[in-house]
Structure 1
């Protein structure tokens, strides 16, 4: 296996790990959390948002942000091919639709939630916080989930056609 193909494989796997995380979260965690009362929902989201800040998550989330442009660069040729453009599309989509959406959308909402003293809030305050947090957070999460899954498809296709080029 060449270095280029190894980086393509690692890029595909890391993108799939992030896309799979977001997809599984959308299919299981969010529907379960939706059923909770305001205090339980907000406490659970605080706990999850704190727990995900770990080295394993950062390696895959940030690693993908690094691997995709490196992979794109490795496959650049003067007569650029479909493979290069697919990799470029995946890199740009991930950077904008996954990483940037997370940093500009989800993280600020997580920070607001993390700073809230939930146990000191009354029912109206809890409801207001949930209403401020949940719809926006879910929208940003849906965007990054769809984009990361699209990146997986693009990379899988790129991996398939790389075998013929």
Structure 2
């Protein structure tokens, strides 16, 4: 196995992990949280947002934003190829739609919620101001990661120069 193949394999593996996390969250966690009362919902989101900041999530999430452009660069081979364009598109979709949306959208919402004292705020209003934008942004992230993974997988089977 070449260095390029190893890097692309790790990239695809990390993308698959991220797609699984975000897809599963959309299909199970969000619908479950939706059924909670506002105070329980907000408290649970505070706990989840703190718990997700761990190496098992952060390593593939952050590393993928570097590995995707690296995979595109390695696929370049001194000329443009279908694989190069697919990996480049995957890198852009992930960097903007997953990583960028998280950093610019979800993280500020998480920080706002983390600072909230749930005993002294209107929890119904806080829930609306947090949940609606957070879920919209999460949908963008999920779709972006799944699209990025699809582009990489197509790139792996479409190796023409």
TM-score interval, smaller chain: over 0.9
Q: Which runs of 4+ in 1 moved over 6 A?
A: none
Question: 2-side partners of 1:141 and 1:90: how far apart?
Answer: 18
What per-residue deviation string (whole Å, max 9, x for no partner) do you get for residues 108-146 of structure 1?
A: 00000000011233xxx1001001000000000000100
Unaligned 5+ runs, structure 2:
none
Report if the CA contact (8 A) 1:106-1:137 is conserved: yes
Indicate whether 1:73 and 2:70 are aligned.
Answer: no
* Offset, 1:2: 1.2
Aligned to 1:134: 131
* Offset, 1:31: 0.1
Indicate whether 1:161 and 2:161 are aligned.
Answer: no
- 1:98-137 paired onto structure 2 within 5 Å: 98-121=98-121, 125-137=122-134
Report if the CA contact (8 A) 1:98-1:145 is conserved: yes
- 1:40-55 paired onto structure 2 within 5 Å: 40-55=40-55
* CA RMSD, 1 decimal: 1.1
Aligned residues: 161
- 1:138-149 paired onto structure 2 within 5 Å: 138-149=135-146
- 1:21-32 paired onto structure 2 within 5 Å: 21-32=21-32
Aligned to 1:15: 15
TM-score by length of 2: 0.96
